[in-house]
Chain A
Amino acid sequence: MKNDFRARNHPAYWAFIVHRLSGVLLALFLPLHFWALGQALQGAAALDGFLRWTEHPLVKFAETGLVLLLAAHMAGGLRLLALEFLEWREWQKTLLALAAAVSLVAALAFLLNLV
């Protein structure tokens, strides 16, 4: 017999899901990123045209999602490194909450144009 969602409904498992999903989505985004950089090869005008398009509010908002994904994947990865390479600590869930908080703060800072 197999487990269903009830067995997996706890913070560390959600962290796994977030890490896996953000990783997959970022991998899907990478070709688009390289394509955008590749615009520079067509000359400055092509790249500038593309960069102007990214100033569009909707695109800006989508970029916030991207920053959130990046921050979540990095914070989650650092959490895993701490968990695996440092001596075990009892406050693993605090570490998890910290990783979530760092990701949200990073995304919010980007959205509100703080950095």
Chain B
Amino acid sequence: MENLKVRIWRGAEEGGFQEFEVPRQESQTVLDVVTYVQRKCDPTLAYRFACRVGVCGSCAMTVNGESRWTCRTHVSKVAADNRLEISPLRNLPVVKDLVTDMREFFDKWARARGRFTGSKTRKDEFERVSPESKERKRVDAGIECIGCGVCYSACDVVSWNKDYLGPAALNRAWTLVNDVRDTARTERLAAVAGDAGCHACHTHLNCTERCPKGLSPTAGIAGLKRAVLAATLSGEI
């Protein structure tokens, strides 16, 4: 098989692309390519990964212009002409090469009140939540987020408004709004109701298009818009 021509971002915010030749292999993933470059071509290349199987959410990068998880992106799917352009995630400060500083991404989960707040203790009985209930189904639709940052990187509204909480944090808030055990619903709805919250979404569906887990943060954000509207009309917030 022909060699891959791979352009990889080097530097931080300022920098440029460096070109490498990487042998093409069967079932090769983009993460395999980056690992090859670091092991065989240039050990100073910085990148981040952990599980390699799509669980941990740490290897997301921009591949040929699109935000993707690299461990489960096959080269055959994205490099039709044997060319790859690999750069860090967008909308986040670049630390070095392919590594971004994800603090603001996770800080926004906290700002969207992304933490479960319950009223029971370990001495209480388990809460029974029917898998058939409307709320539980809504939670199921959004709960598999691995926090990879792909949606945040793909989102135009994050580029336009640095304070915008972003798709992942709002998706998290939506799953908690639908968690019948949670006791912080009102505070959470208030936290996502501001102009950096759910109403800032322009419904481009970039997040839904790119989410590697096939979730739709747009659906959660639309749900939050309705919930915030209802809470405002009823005087809850």
The answer to whether A and B interact is yes
Which residues does A use to contact B, with CB under 8 Å? 1-8, 10, 12-13, 16, 80, 83-85, 88, 92
A12 and B208 contacting across the interface, CB-CB below 8 Å = yes
Contact A7 B203, CB 8 Å, known A1-B90, A2-B90, A84-B222: no
B32 within 8 A of A: no
**Could you tell me which residues of chain B, from 59 to 90, have a CB within 8 Å of some CB in chain A?**
62, 64-67, 87-88, 90
> Which of A7, A16, A83, A88 is most buried by chain B, counting CB atoms within 10 A of its CB?
A7
B46 within 8 A of A: no
12 contacts between A and B (CB under 8 A): A1-B62, A1-B87, A1-B90, A3-B159, A7-B206, A8-B204, A8-B206, A10-B209, A12-B204, A12-B208, A16-B203, A84-B203
Interface size on B, residues (CB 8 A): 31
Contact A88 B203, CB 8 Å, known A1-B94, A3-B90, A3-B154: no
B202 within 8 A of A: yes
| Residue of A whose beta carbon sits closest to that of B15 | A1
A7 and B87 contacting across the interface, CB-CB below 8 Å = no
Q: How near does chain A come to B83, taking the closest CB pair, in angstroms?
A: 13
Given contacts A8-B206, A13-B209, 18 further A-B contacts (CB under 8 A): A1-B62, A1-B91, A3-B153, A6-B64, A7-B66, A8-B156, A8-B204, A10-B205, A10-B206, A12-B204, A12-B208, A16-B202, A16-B203, A83-B218, A84-B222, A88-B219, A88-B223, A92-B205
Residues of B with C-beta under 8 A to A88: 141, 216, 219, 222-223
| Residue of A whose beta carbon sits closest to that of B85 | A6
**Could you tell me which residues of chain B, from 138 to 196, have a CB within 8 Å of some CB in chain A?**
141, 153-154, 156, 159
A85 and B216 contacting across the interface, CB-CB below 8 Å = no
A7 and B154 contacting across the interface, CB-CB below 8 Å = yes
**Could you tell me which residues of chain B, from 76 to 118, have a CB within 8 Å of some CB in chain A?**
87-88, 90-91, 94
Which residues does B use to contact A, with CB under 8 Å? 13, 62, 64-67, 87-88, 90-91, 94, 141, 153-154, 156, 159, 202-206, 208-210, 216, 218-219, 222-223, 225-226
Q: How near does chain B come to A62, taking the closest CB pair, in angstroms?
A: 30
A80 and B65 contacting across the interface, CB-CB below 8 Å = no
A2 and B203 contacting across the interface, CB-CB below 8 Å = no
Q: How near does chain B come to A101, taking the closest CB pair, in angstroms?
A: 19
Q: How near does chain A come to B68, taking the closest CB pair, in angstroms?
A: 11
A13 and B206 contacting across the interface, CB-CB below 8 Å = yes
A85 and B209 contacting across the interface, CB-CB below 8 Å = no
Residues of A with C-beta under 8 A to B154: 3, 7
A1 and B13 contacting across the interface, CB-CB below 8 Å = yes
Q: How near does chain B come to A75, taking the closest CB pair, in angstroms?
A: 15
Residues of B with C-beta under 8 A to A10: 205-206, 209
A7 and B90 contacting across the interface, CB-CB below 8 Å = yes
B203 and A83 contacting across the interface, CB-CB below 8 Å = yes
- The 5 lowest CB-CB distance pairs between A and B, nearest first, are A6-B65, A88-B219, A12-B205, A10-B209, A84-B222
Q: Which of B88, B206, B209, B222 contacts A1, CB < 8 Å? A: B88
